[in-house]
Structure 1
Amino acid sequence: MKRETAYFAAGCFWGVQARLDALPGVVETQVGYMGGHLPNPDYRSVCSGATGHAETVKAVFDPEQIAYVDLLDAFFQLHDPTQLNRQGPDIGTQYRSAIFPVNDRQRAEAEAGIQRWQGHFPRPIVTTIETADTFWPAEDYHQHYLKRRGGHCHL
């Protein structure tokens, strides 16, 4: 099986992970932090807003079962990409809407995806496309939180 990796930030990572896990072709997910400047961030430091990180989901997928463009479409449907630095009750830069492409093809598809989805919302999309740098896995208690604990997220 071929595998590729994608990184998305769309608010609280618990709900994003649960939604991506449900997609056929997504074989593994992990929640963590990306896009900041502090090495080895933890939940408390990220929530302070001082690290620059976003709550991010790493999705490993089989491109023969689901294309990156389909993941992008799911991303734009699972949150409100017109809200700057927030999703529902979660407010702060750590909850920003961001795509972290791992290569030039993903970057081009992310740019095209923003353009394609722009007219589907009443306000402009504020999703950023950021460099995929180091992905810092979140603490164990955050991994597959909704699956383990039940409940739901605002997404």
Structure 2
Amino acid sequence: MRRFDGIALAILAALVVAAPVRAERVVRAPAPDVEAAATRKLETAVFAGGCYWGVEGVLSHVKGVHLAVSGFAGGPNSRRIDYARVSEGDTGFAESVRVTYDPKVVSYGTLLRVFFSVIADPTTLNYQGPDHGTQYRSALFPLNAGQDKTARAYLAQLSKSGLWRDPVVTKVERFTGFQDAASDHQDFMRKNPRHPYIMRWDAPKLDAFRQMFPDLYQEKPSA
């Protein structure tokens, strides 16, 4: 969905101005949240929320995030895959982002709050924005019991919140491993700020995050 020829790029560039962007909304903090373990300096979390360019681009600006890496999760990790193969939509993998963060600075629950406030629409099944297919589903991949408890409770909380007209369809999925995307897909938003796709779909999410969560925003993105 993100491979464009010259004509398509021109059309998409025009849509940057012409088409409205989904209205973001601040969701409540989750209860319960994962408590920071005094013996652990850094934690890891994995999120799938459509195109990984924007997911990585926003989460890399969250204070306490040390690293955000685009890649793939959800499929059988015994298979080696790449962007082209996952884009066929039948691998079970979803475009995902692995986040390394300091739980004493930002909690897993706070990352979830940012994710659902400005990154992913939890009511769209197997698509986000212009990207359709199971590889663009929204999903949470807990890496430990605390994350699993918080993720499941938060989805239930969001379902009862009344913030969306449609039901919440984001799922908690079993983590089977993570495979990094190719280097040209890493830090894509930072490296390509004038790319029409970034301007239309992802830059507004970063702007919304900056405005809605100023205390969480860091100007310099993590590596």
TM-score exceeds 0.5: yes
Mapped to 2, the partners of 1:121 and 1:100 lie a distance apart of 23
Please give the TM-score of this superposition, normalised by the length of structure 2. 0.67
Counterpart of 2:79 in 1: which secondary structure?
coil
Please give the TM-score of this superposition, normalised by the length of structure 1. 0.96
Q: 1:62 aligns with which of 93, 98, 102?
A: 102
User: Are the counterparts in 1 of residues 129 and 201 from structure 2 also a CA contact under 8 Å?
Assistant: yes
**Is 1:99 aligned with 2:146?**
no
Mapped to 2, the partners of 1:116 and 1:20 lie a distance apart of 22
RMSD of aligned alpha carbons: 1.3
User: Are the counterparts in 1 of residues 66 and 100 from structure 2 also a CA contact under 8 Å?
Assistant: yes
Structure 1 stretches of 4+ with a deviation exceeding 4 A read none
The percent of aligned pairs where both chains have the same amino acid is 41
Tell me the equivalent position of 1:116. 157
Alignment gaps of 5+ in structure 1: none
- The one-letter code sitting in structure 2 at the alignment partner of 1:147 is R
Please show how residues 5-154 of structure 1 align to structure 2 within 5 Å. Answer: 5-37=44-76, 39-77=79-117, 78-118=119-159, 119=161, 120-151=163-194, 152=198, 154=201
Counterpart of 2:84 in 1: which secondary structure?
helix
Mapped to 2, the partners of 1:20 and 1:125 lie a distance apart of 21
| Larger-gyration structure (1/2) | 2
Mapped to 2, the partners of 1:71 and 1:140 lie a distance apart of 24
User: What is the number of residues matched between the two proteins?
Assistant: 155
Shift of 1:154: 1.6
Tell me the equivalent position of 2:12. none
Alignment gaps of 5+ in structure 2: 1-39, 203-223
